[in-house]
Structure 1
Amino acid sequence: MERTTESPRLGGRRILLGITGSIAAYKAAVLCRLLKSAGAEVRVVMTPLAKQFITPLTMATLSKNPILVEFFDPENGAWNSHVSLGEWADCCLIAPATANTLAKMAAGVADNLLLTTYLSARCPVAVAPAMDLDMYAHPATQQNLRTLAERGVRIVEPAEGELASGLTGKGRMAEPDTIAAFVGELLSEKKKSLQGKRFVVTAGATIEPIDPVRFISNHSSGKMGYAIAGELARRGAQVTLVSGRTALPVPEGVDRVDVLSAQEMFEAAAEAFERADGGVMCAAVADYTPVAAADRKLRKGDGELTIALRRTRDIAAELGARKGRRLLVGFALETHDEVAHAEEKLARKNFDFIVLNSLRDAGAGFRGDTNKVSLIDRTGREELPLLSKTEVAARIADRIEALLAPEA
């Protein structure tokens, strides 16, 4: 792969940035900002020695995520799961990568959180070596780099220039813009796991008119559905996003169909589902709509106002009844008896699995950027911790991939 300094396209990509104990760690701050500016979500894992060169506070501010160093959070004992980190990332990038870390990676040593995460990673791994010229040229280092390359690790070649020792030679970590572009090219090479598949995703709230200025709706922002549509598209799927009113931008590679009412959403979703391999019913669809909408604004009177409502069509249930071999995922937002209601809906609407969240869970529900959900199917329930909605979307896409695997 040739190196380039063109701006990478990393919208929605999840980059795990590993920082080791090198003077070049200061460049990681610029690299992090470049990755974020390119649209990536960045989480940072530092080795203990890396903290001597750049502070976790700096990296937390730039990445907008907590910095992970130890296996356990010393404040509350919470486990920082290297397995979850490895599953989360689209790319594990270690920059700078010292001779010590490269040697441990080649030998399979797992004595810090970054190394255990590397050994757990299922995604492409890239390293940007940084060290003095003699250390870089040493046969042991060169052998370690060859070993890692043979195992699929991608090497961002160091540059020649002035080094921390005062010497001049090869070993200087590549510049941040070069590394960011390298990652962009690497991820563009990644095989699309859902290539050739078609999905319809519903998102956002429907609007049921009472009169020309008033309507019935709910608090849904559409963020969860948009995150799922974007994640499926990033994995190569052709996605039709049937969206209620929202201010969110269309995810890259997604075809959006704008609707307002539950009836309009049903018609658009049903049409898209006919030519789809699966659907994700994430929208907050109104259960009731006025029997008749007034053609002019209703005037305020002295007494009470009664509005007659009728049931809307149950989009998920109707698609479930006609789905055949296609895959269908549902959502349930509950306030009580959550699991029982979700399991009943799973069976009644013929879902392959259902995503349950509760308004009683802090950080879950409408408008926020996080969610806490459980994935329920006919064999059991997987409860996920509080995650960003992009991470939840990735877990849902993983489950979809697993269900489609026998057909691949």
Structure 2
Amino acid sequence: MQRLYRKRIVLGVGGGIAAYKSAELVRRLRDQGAEVRVVMTQGGREFITPLTLQALSGHPVHLDLLDAAAEAAMGHIELARWADLVLIAPATADLMARLAQGIANDLLTTLVLATDAQVALAPAMNQAMWRDPATQANAELLQQRGIRLFGPGAGSQACGDIGMGRMLEADDLAQRAADCFQRNVLDGVRLLITAGPTQENIDPVRYITNHSSGKMGFALAEAAVEAGAQVTLVSGPVFLPTPDRVQRIDVVSARDMLAACEASMPADILIAAAAVADYRPEVVAAHKLKKDPNSGDGLYLQMVRNPDILATLAGRPDRPFSVGFAAETENLLEYASGKLKAKNLDLIVANDVANPSIGFNSEENAITVIDRQLRQTAFAQTSKGKIARQLITFIADRYQAR
């Protein structure tokens, strides 16, 4: 169940009597470390109040398709990008039919069409409705499209019938939600990740650095552990918690980072997501530099090149499968392709940091991965957590193919 830690789950509550179980499900998901946002249909509100689910989730419940309180009144797009998993429990026969037909006439159905997250349904209905050929056809069609069905279970129903159609219990649904994140594509693989900025001292008080927050590298470390890898994370100065089951090594300068990486070798895969300073001051002052009244308004610093961490590691005799990052503000794909060749990489991840919505310190990203044959694979804008899982799966496929 640790796979739910820090995962973002949108819980959709449809209009069925089983909605009373949704309250317990919110608690079970949060107990495992998930962040839960609730979306309710009009029918769902007839069975359980939004106030109850707001209190349990810790967030306002989303009710309306056009929400004036949401950014640009586009709440469904915000939630679609935010979610790692959309779990609808209960999913009524009506809701399944609308989803099968691609109807988007409320917030929940619109969100399902707009998200690239995994979608799962927990059916809940009368046993005769579940057995009906139309419902069965809808269930089959939804599964063919990649939507998971959790249940239903069998037993006594609110109407007095006995049979298939009961929504699964909260514990079972929470476990199945966790299973959505179980990907052991990197079992036993040793993975080295660099993250965050480096700092290059000018004097004991001042330094040169960049805007990197480390969020992408830390998300990759979490996704890699989830995929079964043994992860070493070498990080520059950041304010982020260490992902569970990750060995973290904190460094400051580019030379510190190179030394830590070399000490962590051999590795099977290297993902160099850190934003390493290319240059450092040639001389670090022993004491704080003071203003010189005779120097005018300027300060002259002689800079020297830092070691190229990525090229150094990718050039070793025992080189790992090497993945670099190219954070650029112009000519993104051209510069990334050049870096791929110059540093002898297997893959490079191109990131347009000139776009503030996917640049440094942002919560989302959009990337293009380029391989040795200069083939490009684009990943659409979404949360860094989802991008990380998609990228880890992509890297694992290419690593195993090699």
TM-score interval, smaller chain: 0.7 to 0.9
Given candidates 307, 315, 319, the residue that maps to 2:313 is 319
Deviations 1:22-61 (A, max 9, x none): 24447546645753564335687878976887899999x9
For 2:334, the equivalent position in structure 1 comes to 340
Q: CA deviation at 1:396?
A: 1.1
Q: CA deviation at 1:100?
A: 5.4
For 1:289, the equivalent position in structure 2 comes to 280
Secondary structure of residue in 1 paired with 2:4: coil
For 1:155, the equivalent position in structure 2 comes to 151
Q: How many residues align?
A: 374
Letter in 2 for 1:292: V
Letter in 1 for 2:89: A
- Structure 2 length-normalised TM: 0.74
Secondary structure of residue in 1 paired with 2:315: helix
Counterparts of 2:132 and 2:222 in 1: how far apart (Å)?
43
Whether 2:389 is the aligned partner of 1:397: answer no
Q: CA separation of 1:8/1:251 partners in 2, compared to 1, >3 Å: closer, same or farther?
A: closer
Q: CA separation of 1:69/1:179 partners in 2, compared to 1, >3 Å: closer, same or farther?
A: farther
Q: CA separation of 1:247/1:109 partners in 2, compared to 1, >3 Å: closer, same or farther?
A: closer
Counterparts of 2:391 and 2:286 in 1: how far apart (Å)?
42
Secondary structure of residue in 2 paired with 1:289: strand
Letter in 1 for 2:385: T
Counterparts of 1:352 and 1:64 in 2: how far apart (Å)?
45
- Structure 1 length-normalised TM: 0.73
For the 8 Å contact 2:86–2:117, the answer to whether it is kept is no
Q: CA separation of 1:335/1:385 partners in 2, compared to 1, >3 Å: closer, same or farther?
A: same
For 1:220, the equivalent position in structure 2 comes to 212
Given candidates 226, 229, 233, the residue that maps to 1:234 is 226
Deviations 1:235-274 (A, max 9, x none): 11010000011110001111100100100100111222x2
Gaps of 5+ in 2: 67-71
Counterparts of 1:335 and 1:374 in 2: how far apart (Å)?
14
Gaps of 5+ in 1: 1-6
Q: CA deviation at 1:181?
A: 5.3
Q: CA separation of 1:52/1:237 partners in 2, compared to 1, >3 Å: closer, same or farther?
A: same
For 2:257, the equivalent position in structure 1 comes to 265
Counterpart mapping for 1:42-191 below 5 A: 93-99=87-93, 110-112=101-103, 128-131=122-125, 153-155=149-151, 157=153, 163=158, 173=167, 176=170, 179-180=173-174, 183-184=177-178, 186=179, 190=182
For the 8 Å contact 2:183–2:226, the answer to whether it is kept is no
Which range is displaced more, 17-26 or 351-360? 17-26
Q: Give the share of equivalent positions with the same residue, in percent.
A: 38
Deviations 1:191-225 (A, max 9, x none): 52211111100001111111111111111111111
Letter in 2 for 1:310: V
Deviations 1:313-361 (A, max 9, x none): 0001111212656311111111122211111001111121111112332
For the 8 Å contact 1:194–1:236, the answer to whether it is kept is yes
Q: CA separation of 1:183/1:68 partners in 2, compared to 1, >3 Å: closer, same or farther?
A: farther
Structural RMSD (CA) = 4.5
Q: CA separation of 1:111/1:308 partners in 2, compared to 1, >3 Å: closer, same or farther?
A: closer
For 1:278, the equivalent position in structure 2 comes to 269
